[in-house]
Amino acid sequence: MYLLWLRVAAILYAGAGVAVFPAVLNGLLRWRKTCVHLGGMAFFFHFVSVVEMLVQAHRWMPVGVREVESLLGLAVAGLFFLVWWLYDAISLGLFALPATFFLILVPSLGPDRYTFPSQGVRTSWLVAHIAALLLAYAALAFSMLSSVLYLVEERRIKSKPKAGQDSRWAPLDWLPPLDTLERIAHSTLEFGFPCMTVGLVIGSVLAQESALGASYFADPKVIASFVSWAVYVLLLFVRRSAGLRGRRAVYLSGAVLVVMIAVWAANLFSHVHRFGAP
Q: Both 106 and 193 in a single domain?
A: no
Of the candidates 112, 132, 154, which is a domain's last residue?
Answer: 112
Of the candidates 112, 143, 166, which is a domain's last residue?
Answer: 112
- Residues ≥6 apart with Cβ < 8 Å to 59: none
Q: Both 70 and 126 in a single domain?
A: no
* Of the candidates 76, 82, 70, 81, the residue with the CA atom closest to the CA atom of residue 96: 76
pLDDT at 159: 74
Q: Both 94 and 198 in a single domain?
A: no
Q: Both 166 and 255 in a single domain?
A: yes
Q: In which domain, by residue range, is 206 found?
A: 117-278
Q: Both 95 and 127 in a single domain?
A: no
pLDDT at 80: 94
pLDDT at 164: 47
Q: pLDDT tens digits, residue range 69-80?
A: 889 899 999 999
Domain count, the chain: 2
User: What's the pTM?
Assistant: 0.73
- Report the amino acid identity of residue 229: W
Q: Both 234 and 122 in a single domain?
A: yes
pLDDT at 46: 95
Of the candidates 112, 137, 167, which is a domain's last residue?
Answer: 112
Q: pLDDT tens digits, residue range 225-239?
A: 777 788 888 878 877
Q: Both 11 and 136 in a single domain?
A: no
| Exposure string for 117-133, b = 16+ CB within 10 A, e = fewer | eeeeebeebbeebeebb
d(CA 132, CA 191): 11
| Exposure string for 170-206, b = 16+ CB within 10 A, e = fewer | eeeeebeebeebbebbbebbebbbebbbbbbbbbbbb
Q: Both 122 and 108 in a single domain?
A: no
Q: Both 42 and 136 in a single domain?
A: no
Q: Both 180 and 196 in a single domain?
A: yes
Give the residue ranges of the chain where pLDDT is below 50.
163-165, 275-278
pLDDT at 11: 95
Q: Both 93 and 122 in a single domain?
A: no
Q: Both 221 and 262 in a single domain?
A: yes
Question: How many of the other CB atoms lie within 10 Å of CB of 160?
Answer: 7
